[in-house]
Structures are given as structure tokens and as C-alpha cells.
Structure 1
Amino acid sequence: MERFTIEHFPKTPFLFFTGKGGVGKTSVASSLSISMANEGKKVLLISTDPASNLQDIFNQTLYNTPTKIEGAENLYALNLDPELAAQKYKEQMVGPYRGKLPEVVLQNMEEQLSGACTVEIAAFNEFAQLLTNPTLIEQFDTIVFDTAPTGHTLRLLQLPSAWSTFLDENTTGTSCLGPLKGLEPQREMYKKAVSQLTNAAQTALILVTRPETNPLKEAARASHELYDIGIQNQIVLINGYMQNLNQNDDIEQAFINRQSKALEEMPEQLQSFEHYYLPFVPYSLSSIELMQAWITDEEVLHEIASVEDTSIPKIEQMIMDYLQRKPKLIFTMGKGGVGKTTVASYIALRLAEEGLSVHLTTTDPAAHLNWTFGDETVENLTVSRIDPKVEVSNYEAEVLAKASETMNEEGLAFVKEDLASPCTEEIAVFRAFANVVEDHQDEIIIIDTAPTGHTLLLLDATESYHREISRSQGDIPASVSNLLPRLRDANYTSVAITTLSEATPVYEATRLQEDLKRAGLSVDWWIVNQSFTTVSTTSKILKQKQQSESKWLQEIQLISKDRYVTIPWVKTAPLGIKGLHQLKGELIK
């Protein structure tokens, strides 16, 4: 695999970066923008990512207009606020109905428009204006967007029915979007923007990922979605690839081996494109100097004292808390790729080993019959799996059956695409979880994936609406109605957020906590997975990784109010009882 250098930069005037949170989109986009600017190109870097740390990287305030970056010739940056844009969009949708529709209807509409899809549409609205602005295009040689729209959003924008008003009186479903008529004046602009995106001479899509299984799978899914709608000029950029530096250190060698295995199993979708790598660095790319060194492969490591710290709280501290309190329902939450499934498995194993009756359920599509434990059985532990595809299919069939009673083909086309949103899967899977809770009330139930606060509020709002209005799209089952209030009972439900000690995962976990708080759920614990802080290593690069983690552990300590524990990075994948016991660490007295 070849290292990504200035020679490999796409020559198109527009560059879009996409990838899961935490893979380094902003760092890569910023570094490449700096390099292109150093080559004499006039570059505009645009962020629509709510977790973006562009202002920290450049150490200056950025606005929604191009701002010259100090210390970087030819480079300008622009920071769009997608949350603010989403608020404006929501008011455009709901505002005209205030005073005309019952309050419960307005609450339902507002919650429908509080999800990730609305934020994404609103963000697209913002950068579509830039993508089609001839004055701006003439000013710059290259315009770089550090977040790309999903295939779902772009498909919605191309549906004629998405722009109609036929859903005005059909606000009882679980739509993340609603009709786009509030954006009707921009409709032609969107067509031009989509045309620019699908023109290979104008736009290149850079799929940023890491040499790890889950990020590679997610990159392949995004690639396929976007390729199918015409964005076919794609490059795969694998961020954080480590090559042999110190063959005498077994931890470093194990780290490299795990990366190599993931790359050997890279999805075929990604193998069909050119793919390059950028090297692993153990520090935050938080300055122009560090990013320049990264792209040019300059040595930036330096000798540091070991920060191995045995006083860092380990996961057993949380286990002891659960043994004492015995919550009936434990959710492990977090963004994809942080290790929720592993954490849920460990909690289930340890509580069962301590004599409690435990039921563990997963939505992991890769899970086999016995899931993480292979062929091993654990006394006091039962395991089940919910298949998201089956649950979504059942839910879609139910919604479409009701919708077909009142809608024409055009209307149904919109509903079908709207059902492709992330909220649909959350709601469908949550309904299945609710049934599991009903069936296992005599056990402690551990769930490895949970809905966001938005989805819980959406279910709540829809249920309230159903109580007052007779028509509906998706009925709320009794099991869901029973579970919703239990989730807000701190004695019944415990929420544990899993994250990594890196910038974006911490920002995303913080937003998740705020989202849950909005829905009335409190977070009991933060779990920092794959931490190097307590790992004994002689590797110079991993010692510096330890040091860079300390800042984020301090941040997590503050955000969690000291309710956090860590799980060490381990040499082999934590599968089976023995593999999971690697995560134990020593109990902090």
C-alpha cells in the first residue's frame, strides 16, 4: 500500500471527505488543504461537522464567511454551524402551523425534525449555496468540504414527492425530515449542487477510514451508497497505519498485527478504488506545524517519561457498583467502532460470574449464535440476537401498509426513502428490545445498542399524539409504552457510554449524553475503551500515545463527574471468556 503524498492529491476543484466519527476527517482535510496551499493553490476549507475542531487547529476564530488562516499562505477556512442551520430549518417547517394545530401535534412535528437527518439536510442547504456560488468558485482553485452528505440525504433531495405538501397532515409517523417545501426556493440550487457532486471532473470523494474492521466496513457502506447515486470518483485514504518501528516491543507488534489483519479483510467495495495510507501519529494534530510534519513524514517523536498510571479507575469499579445496585436494565451506548458490544459482553460475563441471572442481547449483524463467547457457555447467562434487517423490514411493512390506505405512488416513494433514515432502524430495533425486556423481567438485561434521546422523544411524542388523534402510521406496541417510563427511572435503568480517549469520540459522547438528558435519561458511567495509559510498553510511539491520552482522560473525568472507568488496549481480540478477562484490570480500592 502506497503512502499518500502531494502527488496523489485529486486535481478536481471540489474535494469531499467522508467517514465515521473519529477516523480523522478534519485532520486529513486540514492537512491536505495546508499542503495544497503551500503548493501555491488558493484553497477554501469548509467544515459542516458539529464536532469539528478547526478553530483549535488554526488557533483563531472562524465564521460562516471565508477567513484567512494566519501562518498559512493561500489558505482560507469557513465554519458552518449545522445545528443552527437545523434550528432555522425546523422553524421554517413548524412555524406556519403555530396557533393553527394542537400543541401535541406541534411537539410531534418538532421532535421529528430534531434528528440527524434534519441536521444533515440543513447542512447540505448551507454548503449547496457555496457549491453553486460562481463568485466564490472563481476566487479559489480548490474548495474542500470536510463532511460529505450521505446517500440517503441525496436520494431524498432528488425525490419529487419530498418537495410536496402531501405530508402536511400526516405528522404521526417517525419521519426525520418531513416535506422540504420550506426550502422550495433552493430547489434548483440543489439540482446544480448534486450535478457538481456527480461530475467526476469537478468532484472527488475521499473516504477516510482507519485500518480497523468496523471503520473499513462503514467506509465500504458509504462508498456503495454514494457510488450508486453517481458519486463515483472515489479515493480510499487509510489513516493511522503503523509500520514496524520497534520489533522488540510486543505491544507495538501486536498493534501492527491487528491492523494488518483488518487490511487483509478489507471489503471488496474499497479494494476496487485507489487506496493510500497516512501514518499513525500518537498525538493530536492540533497545529499547522504538526499537520505539515505529518504530510511530509517528518520525525516529530520525542523521548518522554512513561505515564503508565495504575491509579486510573478500571472497569471492575463499575462492576462492583452494579453488583451493589442491581439495575434491571443496562444500556451500553456510544458511536460505532468504540467497542459497545465488547463492553456489554464483559459486563454480562462478570455479573453472571457473580451469581446474578443475566440476559444479554445484541444487534450486531456479524454475531453468530453464541456471539462473543464462541462455543463456551456461561452459567447464569442467556444470550439473544435481534436482527436489525428483519426488524426494519417488519416495521417498514407495517408503516407502508397504513400509508398505502391514503397515499398515491408518489407519496409512498417518499415514505419508502424516509424509512431509509437512521431513526427507522433505531425505532424498529427498540420495539424488539422492548419485547425482550417484557420476556426477561426476572433477569438483569444488558443491551449493547440503544436509541438516541431523539428517538426516545420521538416515540414519546408519537405515543402522546396517538392518545389524542385517531390516525397513525406506526402503532406503538404495549411493550414500548411500558418501557419508556422505566428508562427514566434511575433505579431501573443504567446507561453507560463507551468512548475512546480521542477528540472526536469524546465530543460525540458528550453530545450523546446531552441528547439523552433531553429525553430524561441520566448517564451513570463513562467507559474509556482501548486505553494505552495502563499498558506497559517500551515503544516510543506508544509512550507518546499514552501522553496524548492524558488530556482526554482529564476531560472525561470532568464531564463524567468522576464516574468513569477504563479498559486497556489488549494484544488479541477480546473473544471468549479468557479473551474478555483480559479487560479486567485490577480493582481500585
Structure 2
Amino acid sequence: MDKKLNNMQPFNVELLPLTKYIFFTGKGGVGKTSTACATAIALADSGKKIMLISTDPASNLQDVFETELTNKGVEIDGVRNLVVANFDPEQAAFEYKESVVGPYRGKLPNPVIQNMEEQLSGSCTVEIAAFNEFSDFITDEDKADEYDHILFDTAPTGHTLRMLQLPSAWRDFMDESTHGASCLGQLSGLEGKQQVYQSAVSNLSNPELTTLVLVTRPEMSPLKEADRASKELEQIGVKNQALIVNALLTQANDTLSQSIYDKQQVALGDMSNRLQKLTTYYIPLRSYNLGGLSHLRAMLTDDRVDQQSPVEKVDLPSLSTITHHLNETNKRVIFTMGKGGVGKTTLAATIALDLADQGKNVHLTTTDPASHLHHVLDDRSNIRMSYIDEEKELKTYRESVLAKARETMGEDDLAYIEEDLRSPCTQEIAVFRAFAELVDHSDEEVVVIDTAPTGHTLLLLDATESYHREIERTSGDTPPSVQRLLPKLRDPDHTAVVIVTYPEQTPVYEAGRLADDLTRAKIDNKWWVVNASLLASGTTDPLLQAKASQERKWIEEVKRKSDNRYAVVSYDTTELNGDHLKNLLTV
């Protein structure tokens, strides 16, 4: 085993700080649900009375336990002492939103109601509604007495906790403000529960009561996300943290597995100082699908490789199918969208390169640093490259909003504005304005954009425009480019979205929600790309072959969701840049 693993130890629940409350959090698809389930089962098998609660919108607990679950808790057959509850944050968010908006239906104009609904349609609302659900558990003394340990799959972010720590005077601010705060309106249903939330936040930050387990994979993007979450939660007092590195490859048997092994070691070597200081465990990459009790019990202890027939190369559609369609239909704006870490930047560069080779003048832009783009794609006469500096755009937007707020508000109210401006929604809106300037040039060149604004942001801004027209107030200056943007993005002859995912359950489910969000925003999103497929790689490593066989189900799901408008890109660990990107065009 590599020297970089010397400071890690195999994950064993007996080594974990066994506080009353144990939270598992991490980037989508890193295995936090399976890790939480395996931990819950191991503790229950040892004689402890355990409750496991999921507040993850992408939760697959029902599939994992092969049991219909409720938000009240269900005893699991075959695991004595284990009760599992599955909150539906989307439903909770809907009910929460309706509790806020309902009293105004029929009393205010429809555009105003629409604006209120969209203000409450984002990820912040889902998170707050989820916190609203499980705060009762973390403050319920009877539950604390009944169970030895209560485990949560998915912890609240530092932003949500900071928001809940704010005083309650924000309602007057929302009623009077014209600056267009992006997330404070999400708190409008929380009256009367401030004491509960204060107790919940207090219990979360008490190291005698709570342990926060950051789950990651040995890859650059998930490790950066774990570092961000660790810092954010530490800032509000949640300091009792541990790190689990999931899906670690501990040996290699062919060229591909050796490349993956080496890549994981590089990522672990670049881990932040903050994460290096945490007690760190690892779980080896397992060949079997982590569903059902036998596999969950095996996850922490059993290195067996399920026997599989050799994976035969299958006939899968290639990325060139998509790029040729984009060229033939003369699309002028092309977004690559998907969760972080699924390869959007590389695929955006590949699409730009192929369109340029087909004779188009292309402008490729990203929110990654410009130097990264130049590492991926060298200078070419018919490809212009740029990047949107998120920090710069966010700073400019924040300063603009705060300057307007200072004209009418005191220092106390400004504190609410400043907190709101730390939200993910604010960054989306700030970057959105920069994207609008780029799209304004799409008549002269094909604009390929990596990391685009979400459908929620588009809906929010559109509803806000309607709201302003209706009640003659403004949330700030709306540049002409923004006013022209939505019609261009909603024109299927002008704009295309390519959704990028991995052939795994959580990324596919998350991509499906993104597609639904875009459809709601009236943005055409026909094409999907399944990236990093082991099934398409031709690997001969037994463990990777077993993993590859499990991809079929999720590739079929993508085929169904996209109505057969999809492509598959093989798992490739080589340095993909310049003309080497063309390797991704064929399966």
C-alpha cells in the first residue's frame, strides 16, 4: 500500500467517536448513504439501538434496504435494533413553501405569487425544510433516551446554519427591501421555532453530542468539496469532524486500474492541510452493488470480488453523434451542465474542438481559471477562450447590492444582507450576468459554456422580472444583455444543453432533477453524456470488470430519460488535452 495511506486506517465503527448524533455528509455520489447504512447496521449488530435518518433529496435508502420507508421510521427486517426514517425533502419543501405562500393566494396578483413561489424553489429552501424536519429529532429528549445513537445521512451546510442563527428581524427587511436578496425569503416560514433551531445548532456544535463525518472519494473534486464543507462547518462551531475516503483502489491488475490507482494517490497527496489534520479512515473500492443487507454488512470488512463473466464491448453511441448534430442544426449557444466533478470542462473543450474542426468559429468559456482551459486546449485560430472569474463577479455584485442597501438601511439590517450574499444563489446570479454578456455574441460565434447557471436561477430571474413589472419596483439594474438572454436560451434553434453524468445511481438521479429543472425553465435539454464508463473501457481488471457490469442499468436509465439522445465516453485516465481530446469522440 502506498506511503500516502500510512496516516489512514481501515474504517471500523469501533474507532469512530460514538457520540449521540453522527452526521454523514459529502458531495453527491461519494457513497455517504451506503457508508451511513453500513455504519448503522454494524452498530445495531453490536447491540446498540440505532435510528438512521436520511434528509438527502437523492436518497436511495428504500432501494438500499429493499424496504418501503416513512418519515416516522420503520424497523428493518434482519437487523435487530435498527429503525430507518426517510424524509422527503422535496415534499417537505413543497409543504413548507405552501405554508408561506398559501395565505396570500387570491389576495395578491398572480405574478406576485409566482415570484414568491420561485423565491422558495431553490436548494436553500430544500435544505431549510430538511433542517426543519430533523431539528425535532436532534432536540427531542425522548428520542435521545430511546436510541443509543441517531445517525443522519446528509448534514446541513454552514450557510444554512448561519442563516438559522440570525435574529428574526429579517421579515421587516424583506418587506421593505428592494435589493432582491436571493435566499432570505426562504426563511419566511420559521416563526415560532427559533428556540428549537437554536437548540439544534447548539447540539450540532457540541463535540460531546455530535460527530460530523465527511465522506469523500480519493479524487480532486470531492476532496475539495470536503475541504469546503469542513471549513464552513468549523466556522459555525461544528469542529468534531472525521474523514472517510471511500472507494479507494488498493491494488492494480491492468493498465487502467494502475492509472486509476496513480491518479487517486496524486489526489490524496494534494489533500488540504485542514483535511490532513482530521482522523482519516478509508473504505476500499468494492466490486459489488451496495444494496441489500448482505452487501452492506460486507462493505466495511469483505474484500471479495463478485465473479462476473468477462465484460464484452457493447455498441454504445459516441460523443461525435452529439457534436455532429449540434453542427448540423447550427446551435449558437451550447452549455455543458451537471454536478461538480463529472467532467464538464473536458467535455466542453472536446465539443468546442470538434465544432471548430467542422468549420465553426467557437468561443469556449468556463468558470475555471483561464490557465486550466489552456492546459486542456491549446490556442487555435478559430477557438477563442475565456473564463468568468466567479470571485470577481461575486465581489462586484455584492458591492453593488450593499451600496444600494446602505442608502436606506442601518448596520443591523445590513448584516442580513451580507449573510444572504454568501449564499450559492447569489453566486449563481452574479455569474449569470457575466454569462449574459457572452451569449450576446452568439450571433457571430458559437459559444460553448462550461458550468452554466441552473434552471432555478433562470426561473427566479424570469419571475423577478414579472414581479417588477407588476408592482413597479426593482431589485437592481437589469442589464440589456440579461433582458435579451432568456429569450435566446429558450429558443431551441439557438441553444442546446448537454447534461453530463456518471453511470452511477446518485449522479443519474441528480442529472434527472437538473433536466426537470431546465424543462420547467423552458430550456431545451435533449442530449445527455455518460462520462467515465468502465463498461466502454475494455478493462481486464476483475474488480473493475465487476463494477463495469453494474453500469448497464444506469446507462439504460440515461437512454430512457434522454429518449435515446445520449452518448457514452470511456473511462480514460490519460492526460486529455489538445488533439488528445479527440479520443473522447469515439467509444
TM-score band by shorter chain is over 0.9
Relative to 1, partners in 2 of residues 1:545 and 1:484: Cα closer, same or farther, differing over 3 Å? same
Q: Tell me the distance in 2 between the aligned counterparts of 1:430 and 1:179.
A: 20
Alignment pair present for 1:90 and 2:90 = no
Post-superposition offset of 1:466 = 2.4
Q: Tell me the distance in 2 between the aligned counterparts of 1:546 and 1:172.
A: 50
Relative to 1, partners in 2 of residues 1:180 and 1:174: Cα closer, same or farther, differing over 3 Å? closer
Q: What secondary structure sits across from 1:182 in the alignment?
A: coil
Q: What's the counterpart of residue 209 of structure 1? A: 216
What do the CA deviations read for 1:213-256 (whole angstroms, capped 9, x no partner)?
0110011001000001100000011111001142xx11111111
Q: Tell me the distance in 2 between the aligned counterparts of 1:97 and 1:137.
A: 39
Alignment of 1:227-242 (within 5 A): 227-242=234-249
Post-superposition offset of 1:142 = 0.5
| Amino acid across the alignment from 1:316 | S
What do the CA deviations read for 1:271-320 (whole angstroms, capped 9, x no partner)?
111111111123321111111111112414214222321x1111111111
Q: What's the counterpart of residue 546 of structure 2? A: 544
Q: Tell me the distance in 1 between the aligned counterparts of 2:469 and 2:49.
A: 58
What do the CA deviations read for 1:504-530 (whole angstroms, capped 9, x no partner)?
000000000001111111212100011
Q: What's the counterpart of residue 582 of structure 1? A: 583
Alignment of 1:3-402 (within 5 A): 3-161=10-168, 164-170=171-177, 173-178=180-185, 180-246=187-253, 249-309=254-314, 311-364=315-368, 366-368=369-371, 370-373=373-376, 376-402=378-404
Q: Tell me the distance in 1 between the aligned counterparts of 2:89 and 2:184.
A: 15
What do the CA deviations read for 1:381-412 (whole angstroms, capped 9, x no partner)?
00011000111111111111222222222221
Q: Tell me the distance in 2 between the aligned counterparts of 1:410 and 1:99.
A: 34
Relative to 1, partners in 2 of residues 1:407 and 1:88: Cα closer, same or farther, differing over 3 Å? farther
Greater shift, 387-396 or 472-481, is seen at: 472-481
Q: Tell me the distance in 1 between the aligned counterparts of 2:125 and 2:429.
A: 17
Q: What secondary structure sits across from 2:145 in the alignment?
A: helix
Post-superposition offset of 1:172 = 6.5
| Amino acid across the alignment from 1:582 | N
Greater shift, 100-109 or 532-541, is seen at: 100-109
Relative to 1, partners in 2 of residues 1:56 and 1:171: Cα closer, same or farther, differing over 3 Å? farther
Post-superposition offset of 1:163 = 5.1
Q: What secondary structure sits across from 2:62 in the alignment?
A: helix
Post-superposition offset of 1:166 = 2.8
What do the CA deviations read for 1:162-184 (whole angstroms, capped 9, x no partner)?
65433124476142341635322
Q: Tell me the distance in 2 between the aligned counterparts of 1:79 and 1:163.
A: 32
Aligned residue pairs: how many? 580
Q: Among all aligned residue pairs of Structure 1 and Structure 2, give the percentage whose two residues are the same amino acid.
A: 51
Structure 2 contact 305–543 (Cα < 8 Å) conserved: no
Q: What secondary structure sits across from 1:567 in the alignment?
A: strand
Structure 1 contact 109–171 (Cα < 8 Å) conserved: no
Q: What TM-score results when the alignment is normalised by the length of structure 1?
A: 0.96
Structure 2 contact 252–261 (Cα < 8 Å) conserved: no
Greater shift, 83-92 or 206-215, is seen at: 83-92
Structure 2 contact 332–442 (Cα < 8 Å) conserved: no
Relative to 1, partners in 2 of residues 1:351 and 1:455: Cα closer, same or farther, differing over 3 Å? same
Q: What secondary structure sits across from 1:582 in the alignment?
A: helix
Q: What TM-score results when the alignment is normalised by the length of structure 2?
A: 0.96
Post-superposition offset of 1:137 = 1.3
| Amino acid across the alignment from 1:428 | A
Q: Tell me the distance in 2 between the aligned counterparts of 1:185 and 1:75.
A: 33
Q: What secondary structure sits across from 1:183 in the alignment?
A: coil
Alignment of 1:480-519 (within 5 A): 480-519=482-521
Q: Tell me the distance in 2 between the aligned counterparts of 1:149 and 1:353.
A: 46
Structure 1 contact 531–567 (Cα < 8 Å) conserved: yes
What do the CA deviations read for 1:342-395 (whole angstroms, capped 9, x no partner)?
11010001111121100001001x441753436x21231000110001111111
Q: Tell me the distance in 1 between the aligned counterparts of 2:372 and 2:154.
A: 37
Structure 1 contact 568–583 (Cα < 8 Å) conserved: yes
Q: What's the counterpart of residue 438 of structure 1? A: 440
| Amino acid across the alignment from 1:550 | R
Post-superposition offset of 1:150 = 0.4
Q: Tell me the distance in 2 between the aligned counterparts of 1:553 and 1:174.
A: 40
Structure 1 contact 314–566 (Cα < 8 Å) conserved: yes
Structure 1 contact 453–516 (Cα < 8 Å) conserved: yes
Relative to 1, partners in 2 of residues 1:179 and 1:524: Cα closer, same or farther, differing over 3 Å? closer
Q: What secondary structure sits across from 2:192 in the alignment?
A: helix
Structure 2 contact 287–305 (Cα < 8 Å) conserved: no
Structure 1 contact 174–458 (Cα < 8 Å) conserved: no
Q: What secondary structure sits across from 1:429 in the alignment?
A: helix
Q: What secondary structure sits across from 2:503 in the alignment?
A: coil
Structure 1 contact 307–547 (Cα < 8 Å) conserved: no
Q: Tell me the distance in 2 between the aligned counterparts of 1:519 and 1:179.
A: 20
Q: Tell me the distance in 1 between the aligned counterparts of 2:417 and 2:579.
A: 47
| Amino acid across the alignment from 2:70 | Y
Relative to 1, partners in 2 of residues 1:34 and 1:58: Cα closer, same or farther, differing over 3 Å? same
Q: What secondary structure sits across from 2:172 in the alignment?
A: coil
Q: What secondary structure sits across from 1:238 in the alignment?
A: strand
Q: Tell me the distance in 1 between the aligned counterparts of 2:189 and 2:426.
A: 23
Following TM superposition, the consecutive aligned residue runs of length 4 or more in structure 1 with deviations greater than 4 angstroms are: none
Q: Tell me the distance in 2 between the aligned counterparts of 1:292 and 1:272.
A: 29
Q: Tell me the distance in 2 between the aligned counterparts of 1:303 and 1:112.
A: 49
Structure 1 contact 345–372 (Cα < 8 Å) conserved: no
Q: What's the counterpart of residue 3 of structure 2? A: none
Structure 2 contact 178–473 (Cα < 8 Å) conserved: no
Alignment pair present for 1:456 and 2:463 = no
| Amino acid across the alignment from 1:208 | V
Structure 1 contact 353–379 (Cα < 8 Å) conserved: no
Q: Tell me the distance in 2 between the aligned counterparts of 1:216 and 1:232.
A: 18
Unaligned runs of 5+ in 2: 1-7
RMSD: 1.6
Q: Tell me the distance in 1 between the aligned counterparts of 2:548 and 2:354.
A: 27
Greater shift, 381-390 or 534-543, is seen at: 534-543
| Amino acid across the alignment from 2:154 | T
| Amino acid across the alignment from 2:132 | N
Q: Tell me the distance in 2 between the aligned counterparts of 1:356 and 1:125.
A: 51
Q: Tell me the distance in 2 between the aligned counterparts of 1:161 and 1:414.
A: 10
Greater shift, 396-405 or 549-558, is seen at: 396-405
Structure 2 contact 346–376 (Cα < 8 Å) conserved: no
Structure 2 contact 50–149 (Cα < 8 Å) conserved: yes
Greater shift, 479-488 or 468-477, is seen at: 468-477
